[in-house]
Amino acid sequence: MSYSQRIFELATLEYQRRREKAHREQEQRHSEAVAKLPRLIELGREMSETGLAASVAIAMGADAQKQIAALAEKNLAAQKERRDLLRSAGYPDDFLEPRYHCDLCEDMGVVDGIFCQCREALLRSIAFSQLSELSPVEDSTFENFDLTFYPNNQDPETGLIPRDRMKEIYDYCLAYAKDFDTDSPSLFMHGKTGLGKTHLSLAIAGYVVNKGFGVIYGSAQNLLTKLEREKFSRNTYSHSQANTEESLLDCDLLVLDDLGAEFSTAFTVAAVYNIINTRISRGLPVIISTNLTPEELEEKYTQRITSRIIGNYTSLRFHGRDIRQLKKRR
């Protein structure tokens, strides 16, 4: 995948942030342990002094063999004592070591002058997050999804109890997020406005992002507008832009929220078909949510598209009445 200069810059900043975080947390753990076990300070000094003296001795040459061995022994003894102390206080052996996101490059992005294998994943996730409308602190989570907003009595129209039905959908979505992998099924969430489709699709997206997958979440309208703008300005901007189309086709999970709310044109119909079809052929999951019935969607997006969705996606139909008014009143 090709990336813009901006994405490379953001990756450099992200590595810096990760390293700083690892070191800050290491210092916090150190302060905590030292407060309980003051002897750790002395041991730490001994370890660095013997280490330093050993490197000086090594630089002096072969005559220093005996000295080096003695220093090494002293250093190992200090290490052992430190480990025993930590264990006695219930800390893991590596409690005082920095904990990096990537142990290979220690969050430098480079190992022995070569880009680390973690870098491509980072560039990808930054490219996707640039397109996504997920904010870092997302307030639509599984924890704050409130089933008590859904009526607990039979709906005369459908004969279903909305709360029971929503509990099933909620459980399904939570399990989906927990088990998510790039071969997970695609989901088609449909039902009237204000029944929690956006909340649950955001909850899944947030959960899956935290598992380390590359997710693009956006309203169909915004993503299609970006795609269209980029397509028609390609000649003027070329490589300075993130490649929206490539990202939409390639990310681990694509969430198209509120499909059908956008103004449909020959361009959007072709683009939606391309996204749905390509991702089916690549075996990559999509979550589509829409307020339209399958019939209304077909009217807007042709039978060719809806039959691909109905034939290949797991359908989740949301029942009940708009709960947004109830939420406001509480």
Residues at the site binding Zn ion, with contacts judged by CB under 5 A: 102, 104-105, 116, 118
All residues at 6 or more sequence positions from 205 whose CB lies less than 8 Å from its CB, including other chains = 132, 134, 138, 215, 217, 253, 255, 287
- The least distance separating Zn ion from the CB of residue 25, rounded to whole angstroms, comes to 18
| 105 or 292: CB nearest Zn ion | 105
Tell me how far CA of residue 304 lies from CA of 157, 277, 288, in angstroms.
31, 10, 16
- 255-276 burial string, b = 16+ CB within 10 Å, else e? bbbbbbebebeeebeebbeebb
Report angle CA 277, 205, 129 to the nearest 5 degrees. Answer: 85
- The least distance separating Zn ion from the CB of residue 10, rounded to whole angstroms, comes to 16
- The least distance separating Zn ion from the CB of residue 97, rounded to whole angstroms, comes to 16
| 111 or 161: CB nearest Zn ion | 111
User: What count of Cα atoms within 13 Å lies in the side-chain half-sphere of residue 147?
Assistant: 14
- The least distance separating Zn ion from the CB of residue 104, rounded to whole angstroms, comes to 4
- The least distance separating Zn ion from the CB of residue 105, rounded to whole angstroms, comes to 3
Cβ atoms 123, 11 nearer than 8 A: yes
| 102 or 254: CB nearest Zn ion | 102
Length of the chain counted residue by residue:
330
Cβ atoms 307, 178 nearer than 8 A: no
| 11 or 173: CB nearest Zn ion | 11
| 112 or 157: CB nearest Zn ion | 112
| 71 or 105: CB nearest Zn ion | 105
- The least distance separating Zn ion from the CB of residue 30, rounded to whole angstroms, comes to 24
| 102 or 323: CB nearest Zn ion | 102
- The least distance separating Zn ion from the CB of residue 22, rounded to whole angstroms, comes to 12
